[in-house]
Structure formats: C-alpha cells, structure tokens
Amino acid sequence: MSQPAFDFDLVVLGGGSGGLAGAFRAAGHGARVALLEPGELGGTCVNVGCVPKKAMWLAAGLAGDVAVAAQLGFDVPDTPALDWPTLVAARQRYIHGIHDSYRRRLDEAGIVLVPSRGQLVDAHTVACEDGNRLRGRHLLLATGSRPRRLDVPGAGLAGVSDDFFALHAPPGHVALVGGGYIAVELAGVLQALGCRVDVLARGERLLGQSDAELVERLQEDYRQQGIGLHLGRELAAIEGGPGALRLRDHAGEVSGTYAHVILAVGREPNTSGIGLERAGVELDRKGHVVVDAFQRSSVPHIAAVGDVAGRAMLTPVAISAARRAMDRVFGGRDDARLDYDDVPTVVFSHPPLAAVGLTEAQARERHGDAAVHVYRSLFRPMRQALVDRPRHSLFKLVCVGDERRVAGIHLLGEGADEILQGFAVALKRGITLDDLHDTVAIHPTSAEEVVLMR
C-alpha cells in the first residue's frame, strides 16, 4: 500500500535556537513547516542558558560598578543590598518577551507550532504525544542537550546549571564542580552578587580549551575576588544533607560545608528516546548525531544542528548551521554550509575572556615554534586605574609565518566581549600584524591595545 502524501516539506524536532532558525529560514524559502517543542520556545539558550546567564552577569557587573562609583565620590551605601526576587522578575519578564516574539513570528511565517515531544516512527514520520502523526519530506533534528550528572555517591544531592536559574534567593555558600565555561561563569556571577564560592575541578587549570596564559591570569583574578579554586581534584562523593553538603575527592579529602552544590561537568545530547534508530540515524559513541559538512545525517533528508550534532556547541553556531542547511535544502544553494574554523567565543567570566582562532599552543603544534610570533599587552584599564585597583587586562595576538598573519586573538579584560566581534571578522579575512599597525588607534580605549601590540 502506498504511503500518504507528505504533510509538510519540513518537520523540525526542537524549538530552541537551531530549530527556530531552521524553521524560519525554510518558511522564508516557501516551505511548509511544522515545529515540535514540548517546552518553552528558545530552548536552553533563552530559558536556562545564555540569556538568563547574561542578565545575571550584567547584574553582577553592576555590583562592581557600585563599588567603583563609591570610590569616585558618589554617595552610595557602604553595603548596597540586592533584592534577588526583583532581579529574577526583571530577567524573567525579558525572557517572556522573547517567547511572545517567537510565537508571533511563527504565526506570521505560517509555521505550525505543535506543543509536543516528537518521536520518529520512520525516516519521514514523526509521532506526537497525542497520537497524531506528521509526515515530512525533510526532517531537522534540533533537540539540544541537557546538563550531565556524575555517577558518584550522593550526586542526587547536587543541582545542575539549570537549577541555578530557579533560585529566588541568594544561595549562600556554593560549590561548583567542573572547570569549564559554565562553572567559571557561575562562579563569577555568584561571588559578585555576594555569595561565597568554591570551584572543584578535575583538571590542573580552568578552561582547558582556552589560551593557558590568559586562563592563568583569570585564575589569579578569581582568587583575588575571593573565589576558592581547588584544581586537580576529582569528585568522588557528595555527603551530608540539604543545606549542609560536603565534597569528598578521590584522595579522600573532605571539603567544608556548602548550602548548595552545582554540577557543571558538561552536557549530553537529547538523542535518546526519540526513535532515531527506527529511522536509521547514526550516532557516535557519545550519542551525538553523526553529520557531514552540510549537517546531513546518515539519512540524507534528515539534518541535525546544534548540540545534538556535537560540534562547537554554541547558540550562534546552531543558528548559522541551521540557516545554511535550509538554504541548501530549500533555497537552491547546493554549496551552503557553515565554516567551523575560527568561530569567536566569549566566556562571561569576571572579567570576560574572548577568543577567536588558534591558541599559542595550537599554533605551535600546527605550524612549529619557529613560525609562531606572540605579542602581548598587559595593562590596567582606566576605570581600574582611577580607583587604584590591581586588576589588569591581558590581550594577546598569535601570528604565524613571515607575513605575521594573525591566527589567534585572545582578550581577557573589561569590554573583551564587545571588542572581539569586529576583530573576528578581520581575522577571518586573513589580516596581518602590519594591517593592525596600519589602523589608527581609538584612544583612550582597551580596544586600541589590539592595534598597538609590537
């Protein structure tokens, strides 16, 4: 018996950043699109990731601004108090506005929003939770990821990064387990907002993928801020009870008592239980969908983007990959694909760490020591100097070859998150050190240090 006609040109599983971007782009090309999302639109980024994280980071920055203002003569209380519920309400109001915007745009684009989890029945058919089935000529997998939990005794006593955004009061003394960007970001926010923070990391340093020299400087900044860094210690167990938790490492050392423990030890793809095996979609050993350079899975009409594909797990990457995939499928651009080289990133630490291109270690491994030229600028931003604080910024260029082509830009300091974007474009276009030197500096700024390094 013949299969019924396709209900849609595209069925999207997941209403996060990648799924929404793919749905909008496909609809813009005239495709009939259905999008399945059982939770809030926007996925991790909007609801328990970049957006609420940035809101808390901004608030933490304001706490530092208040202290600076007092030193510059403004009449502020000696101990200004933060009303945590007011901050959370403002954050959530902003997020609800994003939800409303998405719903409006979906309606305007003619995209059918199905508030349901989807399971693949076969390579073209998706079953909804109410029993309805949708057949799509093409499928887009964008179901995202979830925080990973550790398989150690007492792990259930700890929260994960998602739980941070459910807090409606300062959490007191907090232990963060992990040394990646999530742990680093939460540590800085919590400490700035008046909490006591310790970080327990298995590695000998934080941020193992970032340039080691900048990370060393950031670690020193964190220690000066009062954050306890316990590096080279692997968690073996969590002991105690609610509000009085202790950490035991593999060496048998036991920590002090914490009100909360938050696990920030990576993320796992949401690929289990959605019927991928029935469609013949291949997964790697970590559960990510195996895709080619064009985001195609082992089933050519099923694409995957974002965290489920497991490469450069960043919101802008998911968006860019989804748009290019839909340009290829529905827009007639057979060569459309995302270039994953030189993706700029920012860790919203205090201060932020921004980077694009190769670290010094990566450049030396790829090009050899003789071909690598490193330039640094260690300076104190004007705001820090005005109040005679010791915090310095460290900017670094990694160049290769006789022409000194800029292969890496690494910025740690105030404004680094905003400075990097334009320089990332320049690096992508192949600028050299001479090109930077030919650019007139904007003074006085931190950004001018990038074009003045020699």
CB 418 within 8 A of CB 434: no
Residue 443 among the catalytic residues = yes
What count of other Cβ atoms lies within 10 Å of the Cβ of residue 115? 14
The structure tokens listed for 337 are 């694909």
* 187 torsion bin: left (phi>0), alpha (psi -120 to 50), beta (else): alpha
CA angle 347, 348, 350 (to 5 degrees): 115
Q: How far apart are CA 209 and CA 58, in angstroms?
A: 25
Give pLDDT tens digits for 163-199: 999 998 999 999 999 999 999 999 999 999 999 999 9
What is the phi/psi pair of residue 228, to 5°?
A: -85, 120
Say what the pLDDT of residue 3 is.
53
Instruction: Please determine whether the domains at 8-50+86-146+268-330 and 155-265 fall in the same fold group of CATH.
Output: yes
* Domains of the chain, residue spans: 8-50+86-146+268-330, 155-265, 351-452
263: Cα separation from own chain's centroid: 16
Strand (E) or helix (H) holding 376:
strand 372-379
Residues in a beta bridge with 12: 35, 140
Phi, psi of 400 (to 5 degrees): -135, 150
Q: What is the pLDDT of residues 403-449, one digit of tens each?
A: 999 999 999 999 999 999 999 999 999 999 999 999 999 999 999 99
Peptide bond into 242 cis (omega under 30): no
Sequence letter at residue 128: C
308-361: pLDDT as tens digits: 999 999 999 999 999 999 999 999 999 999 999 999 999 999 999 999 999 999
Q: How many C-beta atoms lie closer than 10 Å to residue 283's C-beta?
A: 19
- Model pTM above 0.85: yes
pLDDT tens string 62-110: 999 999 999 999 999 877 889 999 999 999 999 999 999 999 999 999 9
Point out the catalytic residue in the list 250, 288, 392, 443. Answer: 443
Q: How many residues does the chain have?
A: 454
Letter string b/e over residues 175-199, b meaning 16 or more CB atoms within 10 A of that residue's CB: bbbbbbbbbbbbbbbbbbbebbbbb
Taking the C-alpha atoms of residue 129 and residue 115, their distance in angstroms, rounded to an integer, is 9
* Domain 351-452: top CATH class: alpha beta
Tell me which DSSP letter residue 280 carries: T
CATH number for the segment(s) 155-265: 3.50.50.60
| Spacing of C-alpha 308 from chain mean position | 14
Return the CATH number of the domain spanning residue range 8-50+86-146+268-330: 3.50.50.60
